[in-house]
Amino acid sequence: MSANTPPANPGAGDEGGWSGPVAGLARLVDGLRRDVDPLTGLPGRVDELAEVMARLSETVASVATRRNASPAPTWLLAPETPDDTANLLDDLTAWLGAIYLRYPDGLAALPDCWLWHPDVVEELVWLMHAWSAAYQGPAASVALAGDWHDRQRPGVVRRIRANHGSCSIERHRDGPGRPPITTGRPDIPGRDQISEIAAWWATARDYAPPEPAELVSEGAWT
């Protein structure tokens, strides 16, 4: 061998030479790559899981909100104070004029003596709050509005007609006199006696209700 000829690579093919550590490192990198490859889609799956959890949290919060919402007032268990009952009737009559009596069957089925029937007032109070929940509440939705139109309102109309459809304000009078029958634009029956009915329901609901105003003296009870 000439003195100018470089020696053969002493580590070629020899694990103990310089190529041995490089080959081992290559095998280690290759093994790590095989281990990591299945995890390449993990960030996307984590994002999907986070989205599912977010939707679930929103659903739970919505259910909790509906469950914890303030209950609708009830006429049958209204506070025994004239101001509270008068306020409730004021809200109800405003809603009747704006919403309920716009429906011909509702107008036709509501007797003019509706204020003298606690069950009718109760039906209308809860129906008013069902309408508010469907159109104005935090969980308002087209589905709730559809249920109000398709099931709730017709059910109230049907029960009022079945239970009191033949009643009238004259049947609540003990005296012989009757007020003149008027026609024209529909009005809220008995509106002028709301305060009197409210006071009766607040303080004397276990006794007979007041007669229509034309037949009794001011402040009288039967």
- Residue 115 falls inside a structural domain: yes
Report d(CA 221, CA 77) in Å as an integer: 22
pLDDT of 128 = 95
pLDDT of 95 = 95
- Residue 24 falls inside a structural domain: no
pLDDT in tens, 139-192: 899 999 999 999 999 999 999 999 999 899 888 876 554 444 444 455 788 888
**Residue whose tokens read 């509501």:** 110
pLDDT of 221 = 35
pLDDT of 72 = 72
pLDDT of 187 = 72
- Residue 12 falls inside a structural domain: no
In sign, the C-alpha dihedral spanning 68, 70, 76, 79 is: positive
The arithmetic mean of pLDDT across residues 103-130, rounded, is 95
Give the residue with greater pLDDT, 210 vs 50: 210
pTM beyond 0.85: the answer is no
pLDDT of 35 = 72
Beta strand residue intervals within 119-185, DSSP E = none
Q: Say how many Å lie between the first and final Cα of the chain, rounded.
A: 139
Query: Which of the four pLDDT bands, split at 50, 70 and 90, describes residue 41?
Result: low
- Residue 202 falls inside a structural domain: yes
Q: Is residue 7 scored above 60 in pLDDT?
A: no
Name the least confident of 4-13, 81-90, 112-121, 191-200: 4-13
Give the residue with greater pLDDT, 7 vs 115: 115
Give the residue with greater pLDDT, 34 vs 10: 34
Query: Which of the four pLDDT bands, split at 50, 70 and 90, describes residue 129?
Result: very high
Q: The domain containing residue 145 runs over which residues?
A: 82-176+187-207
CA 138 to chain centre: 7
pLDDT of 155 = 97
- Residue 141 falls inside a structural domain: yes
- Residue 61 falls inside a structural domain: no
- Residue 77 falls inside a structural domain: no
Q: Which helix (H) or strand (E) segment is 173 a member of?
A: none
pLDDT in tens, 195-210: 999 999 999 999 999 8
pLDDT in tens, 58-107: 654 444 444 345 567 899 988 889 999 999 999 999 999 999 999 999 99
Report d(CA 114, CA 92) in Å as an integer: 12
- Residue 10 falls inside a structural domain: no
pLDDT of 46 = 67
Contact 176, 190 (CB under 8 A): no
What is the count of structural domains for the chain?
A: 1
Give the residue with greater pLDDT, 70 vs 218: 70
